Structure 1
């Protein structure tokens, strides 16, 4: 009898342990796959510790106590290992190879490229299609001094009375009338010396472009010019350590991403500026790299400590730099559609205040099982060629409709559709633009709800989002928000 009681006790104990393990297994899995009404993904840079804490202490605290809502901070999996001073651009993680300066003298004159003619090949398209690039977009990596502007000889011989212009996004920097009397000739180009050498600082972005004299339009080269030449021009481009060549503009105004196989009608001669600063830069590279590695190690440890304390960080694959933002958002959509069964998904930035009450009211009573999103939408926006949003890849002059970059709300169904196509679509410009392009491509029937008071503007006492705030401003908005409540 006692043995029977012992066996019963052991059986009960095993069953209890089994039920407990099963319960916790299901509980943990349900925690990962638990349905949510709204998941808010705050896109944050890895080292934005104070920004994330400001969100947690302000509007994020409402999410933490709200039933059916969740807030996570979305970070890239790794930092760029290249020190910011050694990158071509702060927006990307491409190393600036400055080794070319080792052999350049201060007085040496360089040109964008050296050109030569090759025999015409009958199987090529018309020379007009191949050679009519009247604009060249550049970014300066190390300061240069522009001395002359150049135009291909056969263009000048057929079209006198033109301007060659160097311009940035806001104004014309230099304008030079093209005549038949150049200051020098070389590489098949006429060179026209500037009255005063022009210093272009590191980071300068602009375009060298050919214009008609009497008309405010880009030069149009017709079939007459195409048939005048029986040679194809080939260019040997200068090392990228000084300049980054971004795009080429056709005579019709269309832009093509730069490639060394093309040879434009215009160029420039320049010299290297401030070589002493370059020498110092090279001498300090090893020390910079050591300091940067220590800094990145510290950032990683702090992120891990932050995650251990708050459990609200989602790391997505990729390097955490601005040009990777489209991939970062895709990583978040992949996580939220596989780890959460969310009816609605809000993307916001860590410098943005989110009014949770207005967010709830916005979608109250809406059936969230269709393709829809909410924001302020931009329509027929011209593709930018300069700055952090520059885009020489998109094949049209304007983008399809896309939401405000500060934030947008979408249904889980739409997020699933975008995530399913993520491996087949290309990133363009910013993440808001990319998302607009992707939605247009894979979910063209999506309903766009343009919310009148989504972001601040005249006539709105309150808005769903307030973007581009400092940590201090977010806290101040929160204090005012609580007084209203």
Structure 2
């Protein structure tokens, strides 16, 4: 029984290999003819942005579409065809030394500030009123909670209540807009001689949550309110600001005024500081041990496969744009004349390399050209992983989605020459759109670069150039499907089906 199973397994392997070879013979023969007509050579560098800890994703790529790259290169070399394809995983040279629980965000490497004491912490928001019709109404402001806290007391200046008659304070989940807490304060003549109104509350705010504090003032049509900064960022922080002026949760402009009304929150930690400090010390020790093990594994991986390029930075999401720029600088310095095209992709994407080569050769005369599937009028995010802190427009310029795009060597040179002058915004793909807007390259749009999991009605998934958002198992499945359907495509131009 075992011998029979092994025999069947070997037959299946032979069939798959034969289909793989037959497919590429068809593809390559057509590419050879195309190359002979154009007379152009091609040196394509594939840059695969990868996080240091993504060993399984890199392994899956090496076992799938990078095998196709290897096969193509062998054919081109043996037939003296002027096409070369190189591929490297682009990693940061260092990991963040701060344990994730002690960072302000998982996407950066900034340590939380120490809080000096446990209880009776106050957080003061200055609510500013301005009576000008030309200003839009201020609706609220958003904050991120860095440590689990309990809000005990909310204090509002009586002058604010007197001015508005009714003050309604609501706390919402910023992402879902779910109401977490609400209270209403009405003007009370018995309290006119007091400076403040105290509202006892019991609100627990969890670490990592993003909240909106809203103050309703519909009875004052020409009022504008805006919060000013606070110094209690050890536990929470107002999101987004321009020139020191805080914005509301929709990032409308904050307007200064002379009339200020305080909204004060008194809070305490849910857990005591001694246990926090002990946990922080334990976390740091465990994290340093884990990072030492990661360094060792990466060193072995790099020596074994020789396909990793380390750039000099801390490898966290917020540094992706800088990682890409430093890669271009490194590439141009090492290969200033040889590289004709760069393809950027991510370590969760499957590439149809043969069709990508065909696309480039069909446009071999292109200069200052950007190949991709472009997002237009893409709104910025105010929260979460893609929160934009610096780009001041509510929309990004055109940018190619990150599953795969190609730029020609003149664009590579421009990026490499200006890598230390270009500003690194929150994501490498939107940053590329902002950088490219300065020189307005030719854009060759192609929806075969699949952007996400949503299916566009005009995309034939069997001709896709890239498929994103795959885990290692899905990467293997896509590759096997790609090989199994070769016989159904006599022209050899189609690749693989995409199954939801």
Q: TM-score, normalised by structure 2?
A: 0.73
SS at match of 2:289: helix
Distance 1:207 1:138, change over 3 A: same
1:14-413 residue pairs with structure 2 within 5 A?
A: 37-67=43-73, 68-100=84-116, 103-105=117-119, 108=120, 110-113=121-124, 135-147=140-152, 154-160=159-165, 163-167=168-172, 168-173=174-179, 174-177=181-184, 179-181=186-188, 197-213=202-218, 221=223, 237-247=230-240, 250=247, 254-255=251-252, 267=263, 269-276=265-272, 279-340=274-335, 341-413=338-410
The TM-score, its normalising length taken from structure 1, stands at: 0.75
Rounded Cα–Cα distance in structure 1 between residues aligned with 2:413 and 2:396: 23
CA deviations on 1:387-435 (whole Å, 9 max, x unpaired) are: 0111132111211112213332222222222232322222222111111
Work out the CA distance in 2 between the residues paired with 1:309 and 1:183: 79
Distance 2:432 2:229 in 1: 37
Q: Secondary structure at the match of 1:169?
A: coil
Task: Indicate how the Cα distance of structure 1 residues 476 and 388 shifts in structure 2: closer, same or farther if over 3 A, else same.
Answer: same
The alpha-carbon deviation at position 481 of structure 1 amounts to: 0.9
Q: Which residue of 2 aligns with 1:474?
A: 475
Q: Structure 1, unaligned stretches of length 5 or more?
A: 1-34, 118-124, 226-232
The CA distance in 1 between the partners of 2:380 and 2:282, in whole Å, is 40
Counterparts of 2:176 and 2:131, CA distance in 1: 35
Change over 3 Å in CA distance of 1:75–1:253 after alignment to 2: closer
Decide whether the 8 Å contact of 1:51 with 1:351 is kept in 2: yes
Q: Quick one: distance in 2 between partners of 1:184 and 1:115?
A: 21
Q: Deviations over 1:154-181 (max 9, x none)?
A: 5544444564433312214244445324
Task: Supply the distance in 2 between the matched residues of 1:128 and 1:282 (Cα, whole angstroms).
Answer: 51
Can you give the 5+ residue segments of structure 2 that lack an aligned partner in the other structure? Answer: 1-40, 74-83, 487-500
Structure 2 counterpart of 1:25:
none
- Alpha-carbon RMSD across the aligned residues, in angstroms, is 3.8
* Separation in 1, partners of 2:295, 2:189: 58
In 2: Cα distance, 1:361 partner to 1:56 partner: 22
Q: What SS is found at the alignment partner of 1:363?
A: helix
